[in-house]
Amino acid sequence: MKWTSAFLTAGLLVMGTAACNNQEKTASETPAAGISKQAWGQADGQTVDLYSLTNSKGTIVKITNYGGIVTSFITKDKNDAASSIVVGFDSIAQYLQSPPYFGAIIGRYGNRIGGGKFSIGDQTYSLATNDGANHLHGGIKGFDKVIWTADPVSDTVASLSLHYLSKDGEEGYPGNLDVTVKYTLTDEDELRIEYDATTDKPSPVNLTNHSYFNLTGDVQATILDHQLQIDANGYTPVDAGLIPTGEIKAVAGTPFDFTTANSIGSRIDSVEGGYDHNWVLNSKGSSLQKVATLSDSVSGRYLEVFTTEPGLQFYSGNFLDGKFINHTGSAVKLRSALCLETQHFPDSPNKKEFPSTILEPGQKYHSVTVYKVGVKK
């Protein structure tokens, strides 16, 4: 369905009424549930917009169609104080200064492809290299820096569907890739992200979202005291350029063992540079399953990650350097925030032993990830 102001109004009315019936007492304090749109300036000579998705609990997710970026995810803490649990900015201008993928959709290939090269059959492809000799997060102008066509989806909860056609040869990738990413905010405080794609030539595809979380809502507090649990018995060790060696190593007895909840800071100093690795999930990407839980006792918030993907990149914000100022006015510094990026394994196009990331013409790429926020009072 195409965006119309009639839809917007009807959606707001219908969803607003439902919210009032459920929460009569707080209706005056809680913004109306639904979806709204505001003009948000220009990028690449085109107008971009900011969409606000609000659920009946008053949780708000803001998304711009520039890069499909989640700019804020505002939830209440144990004291009912609302703040954003993701790093972001209030203006498009800051996103145009290339922050390290804050909140963005990543594609065509999330994480690295070694040497920026891969082969399919006897054809070798050279990709844009933007991380030393390697290709990272789709290249110089990846999906995080393009303008997506936005359509609301008419439903009982607020959804935003984003569409982008990545042309044959873009950043060196073969084939026209037709991509749709649908964000939905449910009344259970889940941000559901559904990725769909088709291609007309075989191409690697590995889509993810690059939100940086700090559950305290305050990036002045580090994430070192957050507790993390990842349902993974293995991880993929990397070389000095952060390219997997191809091995899958057991986490048992290492600082990578998060099979039971551990604070991030407890063992981080024994991992050179901090955590920036792919965990091999026990779920193996077989179906949508809970794979990780992050929690913070200060705010009482916890975040559960569900995915259909076989891997999870836990990145502890190792390259954050204070250069960017969050919407709260604070600098985003080393360990201010962390990413939990659901994915296929890095450099899979060059690692025959890893699950394949090649999408063939006629096949449908479909991947689902859910970030669910809760609070312990």
Chain residues binding ligand BGC by CB under 6 A are 100-101, 111, 242, 276, 313, 315, 319, 339, 341
Q: Please, what is the minimum distance in Å from the beta carbon of residue 72 to ligand BGC?
A: 18
The neighbour count for residue 250, using CB atoms within 10 Å, is 12
List, as own/partner pairs, every contact residues 282-291 make where C-beta atoms lie below 8 angstroms and the sequence separation is at least 24, other chains included: 282/231, 282/232, 282/233, 283/231, 283/307, 283/310, 284/310, 285/309, 285/310, 285/311, 285/344, 285/355, 288/368, 288/370, 289/231, 290/231, 291/230, 291/231, 291/232, 291/342
Concerning whether 210 is annotated as a catalytic residue, the answer is yes
Q: Which residue has the tokens 């393009």?
A: 146
**Which residue in 226, 277, 341, 344 is the catalytic one?**
341
| Residue 370, CA distances (Å) to 101, 279, 293 in order | 19, 17, 12
Nearer to ligand BGC, 100 or 310 (CB): 100
C-alpha closest to that of 64 among 157, 173, 123, 149:
149
Q: Please, what is the minimum distance in Å from the beta carbon of residue 330 to ligand BGC?
A: 18
* C-beta separation of 224 from 335 below 8 A: yes
Q: Which residue has the tokens 């859910």?
A: 370
**Which residue in 135, 171, 190, 210 is the catalytic one?**
210
Nearer to ligand BGC, 68 or 100 (CB): 100
Nearer to ligand BGC, 113 or 158 (CB): 113
Nearer to ligand BGC, 101 or 213 (CB): 101
Nearer to ligand BGC, 56 or 342 (CB): 342
Concerning whether 226 is annotated as a catalytic residue, the answer is no
* Amino acid (1-letter code) at residue 72: S
Q: Which residues are catalytic?
A: 210, 341
